[in-house]
Amino acid sequence: MKKHVIKIIDNNWFFVSLVLFAIVLPLSQAFVSIGAGIMLFIALSEDRWKNKLNRLKQNRILFALPAIYLIYLLSAVVSNKITASLYDLQKSLFFLVIPVAFLLGKPISSNQKRFVFYSFLVSIVISTVIAIVNWKISANSEAFSVHHASLISHIRFSFQLILAFWFSVLLIFMNFKKLRRFHFLLLAAGAVYFIAFLFFQQSLTGLIAFLGSVAFFLLFSLFKTGSRFQIYLVAFVVVLMVFPVGYIIHAVQKFYDFEVVDKNSIDKQTEKGNLYRHDFNNPLVENGKYVYLYVCEEEVREEWNKLSEFQYDSIGVNGYPVYSTLLRYLTSKGLRKDAEGVKSLTSEDIQNVENGIANVIYAENKFSLYPRIYQTVWEYYTYSKTGNANQKSFSQRIEYARAALSIIKENPWFGVGTGNWKQEFKNTYQKNTPNLKEEFYASAHNQYLNYMVKFGVVGFIAIFALLLYPVLKTRQYKDILFLLFLVFMFFANWGDSNFESHMGSSFFVFFYCLFILNKPNYLKIS
């Protein structure tokens, strides 16, 4: 074992720092910052400066990433708002630190590069186990509590799962005849496990990114001739693609299957003889039934206050009035909003309402993707009918995108700068979306729109030219794993500004540098 460790390290401590960084990526945001510092320190301290300068010349193509950081810095100086720009300068710091470390650090072999990925995979497995244990121990019955299970942002963690999946699949594909049975089964089980956890944590951004990479791989494979195994692999990818898409279409159709109500024959009284209130103008629905039909608030308030310490007219843990959550929950179970409906609730139902769960499917389908799809469709439907985006993630993103497009339209060429974008978004929301509460103000949640807001079309083109030029110049696009990495990040950036988040930028820049500066034969086991 000792000889194997010495052999794999090969007196290259920069390689060790890469392994360390790959290990902490799925585990801790704080450790990632420390890991980047260690990586840079070792790159600066290890080896002679003569060798470092030679590597700088050989790998100068990687200066493209620090140039992106200089765009942020230049924008801060030009806008004359250095203090207001510190947030962006800090978030984009990995575009400076990590590439410089790779420029100065010792090169690594194909075996060492593969070992970095192996370490990354093991760390992901460990982090998922910890996440599941924490999730079970916490016994959090809040809707979508699984989003908080992973040790880092569930969106950013989903990208790590996708990369781990494709590495496992391609390693099998590239070495099908060479792999030992145990090694094959381990990689295959790992690939299935990574995608299973991706669906389990219910990140729509991650799932869209994954499906985008699957579609690309399918097209890529169809244009290549190969072995029977490749045909099987393509078939497998088709199933991976078709099943989720079909499932989503079915879920959307199911949502819009609304109950048909006859205004003339609808019941007017409860079993107690009290009058129902029927608001036919309120479009709110749960599980195909209208929330504000068959409502007798007097009976609901009286019965609910007997059952719960969370009083009917108080504010619940989800920020909404308890009565709002209760009426939606009763509707989702097909119960009328009267005394009999409240009495039909089980102790578990009562706890769900107290925890802010507004629909029974959120509680009964914790391991299914359906609740996440339902929530997104419900948010869009409600937003389209009411125009209210508050406390609705998907609807808020629509408003964020609209605000970004408005700012870009007024500042198309060079943007508003890193020091001004927050105030510009605030002004736009106050002008165009006055009903959006200030606590929900945010940037576009779209990397491409965010770049154009800050740097305009000119800056946007410059940044992506700097990202694409090294790929084309080094011809590393021949590495299929690198291509898949770029593809799923391309799709992911439509749903979030990942390059401007701590875990998103560190993940992207680290693996981008790892792919660019090393030969792609790491996928072939000798």
Q: What is the DSSP string of 335-358?
A: --BSHHHHHT--HHHHHHHHTT--
Determine phi and psi for 511, rounding to 5 degrees. -75, -30
Whether 242 shows a pLDDT value over 90: the answer reads no
Q: Which two tokens stand for residue 290?
A: 């209208």
Whether 227 shows a pLDDT value over 90: the answer reads no
Q: Are residues 325 and 450 in the same domain?
A: no
Q: Are residues 326 and 237 in the same domain?
A: no
> Tell me, what's the pLDDT at 149?
75
* Contact of 174 with 521, CB cutoff 8 Å: no
Assigned domain for 393 exists: no
Q: Are residues 150 and 23 in the same domain?
A: yes
Assigned domain for 437 exists: no
Assigned domain for 49 exists: yes
CA distances from 88 to 70, 84, 144, 247, 422 (A): 12, 8, 30, 39, 11
Q: Are residues 139 and 57 in the same domain?
A: yes
CA distances from 383 to 200, 323, 326, 386 (A): 27, 20, 20, 5
* Contact of 416 with 424, CB cutoff 8 Å: yes
Mean pLDDT of 329-355: 94
Mean pLDDT of 421-441: 91
Q: Are residues 247 and 325 in the same domain?
A: no
Whether 458 shows a pLDDT value over 80: the answer reads yes
Who's near 7: CB < 8 A, 6+ residues apart?
A: none
Instruction: Report the alpha-carbon distance of residue 106 to residue 17 in Å, rounded.
Output: 11
Q: Which domain holds residue 77?
A: 2-252+443-523
> Tell me, what's the pLDDT at 303?
95
> Tell me, what's the pLDDT at 221?
76
The percent helix, strand, coil of the chain (3-state, each to 5) is 70, 0, 30
Counted residue by residue, the chain has a size of 526
Mean pLDDT of 356-368: 82
The domain boundary residue, chosen from 316, 340, 364: 364
* Contact of 35 with 17, CB cutoff 8 Å: yes
Q: Are residues 55 and 165 in the same domain?
A: yes
What is the band of 226 on the pLDDT scale with cuts at 50, 70, 90?
Answer: low
Which of 190-194, 220-224, 374-378 tops mean pLDDT?
190-194
Assigned domain for 277 exists: no
Assigned domain for 387 exists: no
Whether 500 shows a pLDDT value over 80: the answer reads yes
Which range has the worst mean pLDDT, 42-56, 60-74, 131-145, 299-313? 131-145
Whether 93 shows a pLDDT value over 70: the answer reads yes
- Residue 28's CB is within 10 A of a number of other CB atoms, namely 15
Q: Are residues 226 and 306 in the same domain?
A: no
Mean pLDDT of 175-198: 89
Q: What is the pTM of this model?
A: 0.88
* Contact of 468 with 129, CB cutoff 8 Å: no
> Tell me, what's the pLDDT at 234?
67
What is the band of 229 on the pLDDT scale with cuts at 50, 70, 90?
Answer: low
What is the band of 274 on the pLDDT scale with cuts at 50, 70, 90?
Answer: very high
pLDDT above 70 covers a percentage of the chain that reads: 92
Instruction: Report the alpha-carbon distance of residue 243 to residue 234 in Å, rounded.
Output: 14
Q: Are residues 78 and 204 in the same domain?
A: yes
Q: Are residues 28 and 91 in the same domain?
A: yes
Assigned domain for 430 exists: no
> Tell me, what's the pLDDT at 126?
95
Q: Are residues 211 and 346 in the same domain?
A: no
Torsion of the alpha carbons at 215, 219, 222 and 228, rounded to the nearest 10: -30
Angle of CA points 293, 299, 301, to nearest 5°: 100
Whether 239 shows a pLDDT value over 80: the answer reads no
* Mean per-residue pLDDT of the chain: 89
Who's near 245: CB < 8 A, 6+ residues apart?
A: 211
- The structural domain count of the chain equals 2
* Contact of 78 with 84, CB cutoff 8 Å: no
Q: Which residue has the tokens 């009918």?
A: 385
Which range has the worst mean pLDDT, 219-228, 261-270, 450-459? 219-228
What is the band of 1 on the pLDDT scale with cuts at 50, 70, 90?
Answer: low
For 121, the 3-state DSSP assignment is: helix
Angle, in degrees to the nearest 10, between helices 502-516 and 64-78: 140
The domain boundary residue, chosen from 331, 364, 397: 364
Q: Are residues 322 and 225 in the same domain?
A: no
Assigned domain for 203 exists: yes
The domain boundary residue, chosen from 311, 331, 364: 364
Q: Are residues 211 and 148 in the same domain?
A: yes
Who's near 361: CB < 8 A, 6+ residues apart?
A: 287, 332, 370, 371, 374
Instruction: Report the alpha-carbon distance of residue 257 to residue 304 in Å, rounded.
Output: 30
Q: Is 333 exposed, middle or buried (0-12, 13-18, 19+ CB in 10 A)?
A: middle
Q: Which two tokens stand for residue 168?
A: 């496992």
Which range has the worst mean pLDDT, 220-234, 303-317, 369-383? 220-234
Whether 115 shows a pLDDT value over 80: the answer reads yes
Which of 172-176, 225-229, 353-357, 451-455 tops mean pLDDT?
451-455
- Residue 224's CB is within 10 A of a number of other CB atoms, namely 9
pLDDT above 90 covers a percentage of the chain that reads: 60
> Tell me, what's the pLDDT at 4?
60
Greater confidence, 424 or 240? 424
What is the band of 513 on the pLDDT scale with cuts at 50, 70, 90?
Answer: very high
> Tell me, what's the pLDDT at 400?
94
Assigned domain for 370 exists: no
Mean pLDDT of 83-93: 85
Whether 258 shows a pLDDT value over 70: the answer reads yes
> Tell me, what's the pLDDT at 232?
67
> Tell me, what's the pLDDT at 359?
93
Greater confidence, 202 or 93? 93
pLDDT digits (tens, 9 = 90+) for 42-58: 999 988 999 999 989 98
Whether 387 shows a pLDDT value over 90: the answer reads no
